[in-house]
Chain A
Amino acid sequence: CRIQRCNAEYVASTSPSSGLQDDSPSDVDYCIALRAYALCTRRTARSCRGDLVYHSAVFRIKELFTQHNCSSDGPTSSAKAPSTSRPVVSELCDYESRVLASGPAGQGKKYAHCGLFGD
């Protein structure tokens, strides 16, 4: 179960020293971090079944979505922001630039292929 890792990533992405422009994240940045947190917990759901920390996190995430009025659909990582301004929407909507912005770990993103053809 890797829930602690999800928790740590979420805390890091929302803490003042996370590299965000201001001391506190904007609503957009916060919702992005929260969606990434939710995605991380979903990925670890199978191995975390019955883990109290995991179930608490899932419950808390639902509350935070409501509390901060975040939509559950949307980007899960932020685009690289210019040094003086917030990321613009078009950058958020460009997956490639988002994964590049997420640092060295994001540069090796793998793709999967599915095909259906013939009879």
Chain B
Amino acid sequence: PHLRTFRDEFQTCKVEGAWPLIDNRYLSVQVTNVPVVLGSSATATSKITVIFKSYHGCTEQKVYQATTEDLPSAFQDGSRSGGEGGSLWIVEKVGSGGRLVKIQARYIGTSIIVRRVGRYLTFAIRMPEDTLDFSEENSGLQLCLHGCPRNELIKEHTLGRQPLHPRLPGSGSNPELGPLLPPHQIYTVERATAKCRETLQVEDIYFQSCVFDLLTTGDPEFSMAAYGALEDLKALPPSKLKQNSPRTPHVQQNRGGP
């Protein structure tokens, strides 16, 4: 999946299997990623578990779990809210990017959105910086805090300074991707770019992710994942992310196509 960290680093990672996104004194988030295409190291998220840890005087421990088969609008214990004075609650919404569940943890100023896009899940969170404790020692592996380990990295960007000509799968420039075996249809860069332009107005990192996903999977449903991620970003303000000008030049034309 594509990861945007709390430090605004933007990465595309393999991270197959179960990985922790966040693990601090307030909450723990773990995801499970599964391969999407035979022969590619790319994976997508099939399960998300969020544990809101007990917070004295505000909420007892609550667990939320979503899978590709089930995106519940309740915690595991069946409740839709918890804590004192509605400090923790879930609401379900249907937006243009698909069905989503929003969890609000008022006591820690935190909002989470879990979406199902096509067959897979997306995750977005907004937390106050002062609850993150970047400097904490032994904070362990947390993808949202530290990004992916180097050996899990497929691609890396810097927000606001991303290259206009990203390396794309099929260009022969990334040997880690291996041969692609699209299960649906073959997308050329031109077709993938055109498809992503249907939903994304600005040719930024999210747009590049959309093109990447179409080229990697050949699955048109993946074009909605980046769109949904952007919608979540807008729904969880304020954010430091600045989108580039809509006039950004086109993504590099890949004559070699997959």
Q: Are A93 and B87 in contact (CB under 8 A)?
A: yes
Give per-residue flags for B191-208: 1 if the beta carbon is below 8 A from chain A beta carbons, else 0.
000000000000000000
Q: Are B135 and A117 in contact (CB under 8 A)?
A: no
Interface residues of B in 19-68 (CB under 8 A from A): 21-22, 25, 31, 36-37, 42-45, 53-59
B249 at the interface (CB under 8 A from A): no
Known: A45-B136, A114-B6, A116-B1. A92 touches B57 (CB 8 A): yes
Known: A90-B84, A93-B106, A95-B106. A118 touches B222 (CB 8 A): yes
Chain B residues in 8 Å Cβ range of A60: none
Q: Are A93 and B128 in contact (CB under 8 A)?
A: no
Interface residues of A in 95-119 (CB under 8 A from B): 95-96, 99, 109-119
Known: A45-B135, A89-B57, A111-B128. A117 touches B123 (CB 8 A): yes
Stretch at the interface among A4-12, A18-26, A68-76: A68-76
Q: Are A119 and B109 in contact (CB under 8 A)?
A: no
Stretch at the interface among B72-80, B160-168, B212-220: B212-220
Cα(A46)–Cα(B138), bound, Å: 10
Give the contacting residue for A93; candidates B107, B110, B117; CB below 8 A: B107
A62 at the interface (CB under 8 A from B): no
Cα(A45)–Cα(B128), bound, Å: 20
Known: A114-B21, A116-B143, A119-B43. A92 touches B58 (CB 8 A): yes
Cα(A44)–Cα(B56), bound, Å: 24
Chain B residues in 8 Å Cβ range of A75: 55, 57-58, 107
Interface size on B, residues (CB 8 A): 72
Chain A residues in 8 Å Cβ range of B83: 93
Q: Are A96 and B109 in contact (CB under 8 A)?
A: yes
Q: Are B137 and A45 in contact (CB under 8 A)?
A: yes
Chain A residues in 8 Å Cβ range of B59: 93
Q: Are A74 and B133 in contact (CB under 8 A)?
A: no
Cα(A20)–Cα(B232), bound, Å: 40
Q: Are A43 and B135 in contact (CB under 8 A)?
A: yes
Chain A residues in 8 Å Cβ range of B109: 95-96, 99, 109, 111
Q: Are A115 and B122 in contact (CB under 8 A)?
A: yes
A94 at the interface (CB under 8 A from B): yes
Chain A residues in 8 Å Cβ range of B45: 116-117
12 contacts between A and B (CB under 8 A): A75-B55, A93-B107, A112-B129, A113-B124, A114-B124, A115-B232, A117-B2, A117-B45, A117-B122, A119-B212, A119-B217, A119-B222
Interface residues of B (CB under 8 A from A): 1-8, 21-22, 25, 31, 36-37, 42-45, 53-59, 83-87, 106-110, 115, 117, 120, 122-130, 132-133, 135-137, 143-144, 209-210, 212-213, 216-217, 222, 225-226, 228-229, 232-233, 236, 238-241
**8 closest A-B pairs (Cβ-Cβ)?**
A90-B85, A95-B109, A74-B56, A114-B144, A117-B122, A93-B87, A93-B58, A112-B6
Interface residues of A (CB under 8 A from B): 28, 31, 39, 42-46, 71-75, 88-96, 99, 109-119
Extra A-B contacts (12), CB below 8 Å, given A95-B107, A95-B128, A115-B2: A43-B136, A45-B137, A89-B84, A95-B110, A96-B106, A115-B3, A115-B123, A116-B21, A116-B122, A119-B42, A119-B120, A119-B216
